[in-house]
């Protein structure tokens, strides 16, 4: 970006070196700062010069004497070897009186004294590009038929993907043997995911699409509201706070994805694991950043497992449990986009939070006609042979006895048969659905004792 700015302004860019010219070794932070001061004096008469000073957090190290390498305990460093934090007045003067325009770059500002930050005339935070930009960069770097458009959409939805990681993947793939061309998509994903994991970031957390055993249809959702009417209303004004509740697998998350698709908006999907932190105050900061990102990208914001953050404050045993709810309340109030919460435990939500949702939609188990239609469509998509009329009637009767069936159960069964490599027929599908429903009923009957 700095080089592009210098080119656009017709300026000549000079960068503070990080390498000692005598022995090709690294320079210390003090040596680099002296080089910056020398550059200011040397280029003072130039009209088109700009100085770039990168990795400046190394220069602005803390004022604690124990952070200076090799310093004996209890001794203050000498002025000529101390970090800039120990020469505050002089550093402030340097920052305020540079004759040559300078651009300072850093990866983090939390170690820089606020007194120094106030001296900068313009501070710009460069965030990860929005999803649309990430998709365009992936297409330009890895496209040209090498990877599918579906793969590009999936990887572009990863929130922590940076331009540098896309460039690294492109360079690695250029080194591949031509015989490995058919595996380029798998290898590209391995390069990117390994890089993200090494940095402590989980690939995903974005807008990857929800897929099921059949094409998506609202007819197979048993909701307490008219979903078509909800979509129509949000098309005219896509600003609301929605709460989707109901048992697992009833289609809450899938409908949120479908809603974002119908509104032609990106969707940011966050789960508890993406936001919860062991550090005090960090969870609240993650919640705030989540809403800021959604506002910036004009995206639909989906918070899954919302009961992890919105539990009744009267039951809180720790102060941070209260502050998390308070932070989410504040962010909900000021957010002007479409915010969706999904929960399986609506009864534990804080009453003040629950009142703030404009619309509460409950997703129930499938009724018999829906279950039978989805059953037939699943078999059709699996390529199963059509059952005889008499046998089909028997399957329909047995299916009607399952009163806790969800669309998610069908998806689970189809995935299982694919893993096991079994052909799917009516009897196999029904038996597997009966097992799923039986397992859910058994889980509800389990009781525990304490004390």
pLDDT digit of tens for each residue in the chain (451 aa)?
999 999 999 999 999 988 776 666 777 888 888 899 999 999 999 989 999 999 888 887 643 333 444 434 333 334 444 455 557 888 888 888 899 999 999 988 877 888 889 999 999 988 888 888 888 998 888 866 678 888 888 888 887 788 888 888 888 888 876 666 667 888 888 888 888 887 777 665 544 445 566 678 999 999 999 999 999 999 999 999 999 999 999 999 999 999 998 998 889 999 888 888 888 788 899 999 999 989 988 999 999 988 887 776 666 656 667 788 888 889 999 999 999 999 998 888 888 888 889 999 999 999 999 999 999 999 888 777 666 556 788 889 999 999 999 999 999 999 888 888 888 888 889 999 999 998 886 655 444 444 4
Distance, CA of 444 to CA of 451 (rounded, Å): 22
Domain range 218-364, CATH class: alpha beta
- How much is the pLDDT for 277? 83
Distance, CA of 339 to CA of 303 (rounded, Å): 8
* Threshold 0.75, pTM exceeds: no
- How much is the pLDDT for 247? 94
CB 406 within 8 Å of CB 252: no
- How much is the pLDDT for 92? 87
- How much is the pLDDT for 193? 86
Largest CA distance in the chain: 96
Token code pair at residue 50: 């700009």
């Amino acid at each position: 970006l700095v080089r592009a700015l210098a080119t656009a302004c017709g300026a000549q860019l000079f960068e503070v070196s990080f390498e000692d010219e005598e022995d090709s070794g690294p320079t210390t932070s003090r040596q680099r700062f002296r080089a910056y001061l020398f550059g200011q004096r040397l280029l003072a008469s130039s009209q088109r010069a700009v100085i770039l000073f990168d990795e400046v957090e190394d220069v602005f190290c803390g004022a604690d004497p124990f952070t200076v390498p090799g310093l004996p305990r209890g001794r203050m460093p000498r002025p000529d070897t101390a970090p800039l934090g120990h020469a505050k007045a002089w550093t402030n003067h340097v920052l305020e009186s540079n004759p040559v325009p300078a651009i300072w770059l850093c990866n983090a500002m939390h170690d820089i004294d606020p007194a120094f930050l106030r001296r900068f005339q313009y501070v710009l935070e460069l965030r990860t590009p929005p999803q649309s930009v990430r998709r365009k960069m992936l297409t330009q770097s890895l496209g040209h038929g090498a990877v599918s458009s579906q793969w590009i959409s999936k990887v572009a939805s990863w929130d922590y993907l940076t331009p540098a990681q896309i460039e690294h993947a492109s360079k690695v793939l250029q080194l591949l043997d031509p015989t490995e061309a058919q595996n380029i998509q798998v290898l590209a994903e391995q390069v990117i995911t390994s890089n993200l994991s090494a940095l402590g970031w989980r690939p995903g957390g974005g807008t990857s699409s929800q897929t099921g055993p059949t094409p998506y249809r609202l007819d197979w959702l048993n909701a307490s509201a008219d979903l078509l009417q909800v979509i129509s209303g949000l098309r005219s004004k896509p600003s609301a706070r929605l709460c989707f509740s109901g048992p697992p697998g009833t289609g809450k998350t899938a409908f949120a994805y479908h809603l974002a698709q119908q509104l032609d908006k990106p969707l940011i999907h966050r789960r508890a694991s993406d936001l919860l932190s062991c550090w005090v105050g960090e969870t609240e900061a993650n919640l705030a950043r989540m809403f800021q990102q959604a506002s910036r990208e004009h995206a639909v914001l989906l918070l899954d497992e919302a009961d992890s953050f919105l539990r009744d404050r009267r039951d809180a045993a720790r102060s941070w449990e209260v502050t998390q709810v308070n932070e989410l309340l504040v962010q909900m109030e000021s957010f002007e986009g479409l915010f969706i919460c999904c929960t399986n435990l609506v009864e534990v939500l804080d009453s003040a939070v629950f009142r703030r949702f404009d619309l509460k939609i409950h997703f129930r188990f499938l009724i018999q006609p829906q279950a039978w239609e989805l059953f037939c469509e699943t078999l059709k998509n699996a390529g199963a042979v059509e059952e005889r009329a008499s046998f089909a009637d028997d399957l329909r009767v047995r299916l009607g006895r399952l009163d806790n069936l969800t669309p998610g159960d069908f998806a689970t069964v189809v995935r299982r048969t694919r893993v096991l490599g079994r052909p799917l027929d009516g009897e196999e599908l029904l038996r597997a659905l009966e097992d799923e429903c039986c397992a859910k009923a058994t889980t509800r009957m389990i009781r525990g004792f304490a004390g």
